[in-house]
Chains A and B, each alone.
Chain A
Amino acid sequence: MKVPFEKLDKAFENRLRLQIMSVLMVNDRYDFNSLKELLDTTDGNLASHLKALEKEEYIIVHKSFLGRKPNTNYEATEKGKAAFRLHLDALEKLIKQQKIN
């Protein structure tokens, strides 16, 4: 039995990162606070996983100011979108394989 585990992206091993990426797949940009609310998580947790995705160059950060409040937006890069699709494909293959076995 050859399961293509190696094809699963290590960056998406964490569930929250995968969730962040799925939001950024369907929205051009999404801001920090909306992400926090949607994913029901804490500032620190979300920030650290966003950092990790940024380090992989899967997302880019846009910082701006709304009045005096800082407003941070995130956008998925082409590299990130490609990686996400590959990861989903790998998940799909895993399911198919397990059905056969």
Chain B
Amino acid sequence: MEEKEIHDELASIRSLMERSSKFISLSGLSGILAGVYALIGAAVAYKYIYTKVSEIPADINHIPTKAFFYDSDINTAILFLSVVALIVLIASIGTGIFLTMRKAKQKAQPILSSTSRTLLFHMAIPLITGGIFILIFINNGYFGIVAPTSLIFYGLALVGASSFTFSTVKYLGLCEIALGLIAACLPIDGLLFWAIGFGVLHIIYGSLMYFKYDR
């Protein structure tokens, strides 16, 4: 056996091990775009909250975000913010799926393989748990928990999924968890932390991935 032949053999083994166990078609560009959508969404929400709500109660620190709204406004406000959040979510997922499919094609990696299914499964558990948890608390009027809880559960989902894709995802997840815990201590700045976590961190992460793997 020639040396070159052995090297080819070893290279093919390494590539197969990676391609079969890790989903390497995640697109960095979709991370950047998701971050941009999140920032736009946060800006819209910020503008809405701080122009619609004329009076901020004095004992602000002891009251969840609910206190920002007069009771009659609460339902419209919730509806408006939910729609904004939903648009951001759908736009991000849509862009993610589109760009990831494009990249999977380039890499000749099937988009629905056992690896990507495992990846989705491991992400779905903390995300769905967190989503239901947040809905239960919103229903009880605790709006202050939305930002920290969504950051924490999203971070847990990323860390859990990171063994099936690029390891950089793990560090993004850890940052989201840390940010969520800080946000939990400062519920008044929830929107700011949400914007940092889902906006700024995604843009940073997406750019890193883009320059490292996409090109």
Contacts and interface: CB of A to CB of B under 8 A. Distances in A.
Interface residues of B, number: 17
A4 to B, nearest CB: 11
Contact of A19 (B1, B12, B21, B110): B12
A38 interface: yes
Interface residues of A, number: 22
B14 to A, nearest CB: 8
A98 interface: yes
Contacts of B17: 22-23, 25-26
Interface string A17-41: 0110011011100110010011100
A interface, over-half SS? helix
A91 B3 CA distance: 9
B113 A19 contact: no
B interface, over-half SS? helix
A22 B13 contact: yes
20 contacts: A5-B1, A15-B9, A23-B16, A26-B21, A27-B20, A27-B21, A27-B114, A30-B20, A31-B114, A34-B114, A37-B113, A38-B16, A39-B16, A88-B10, A88-B13, A91-B6, A94-B1, A94-B6, A95-B6, A95-B7
Nearest to B15: A22
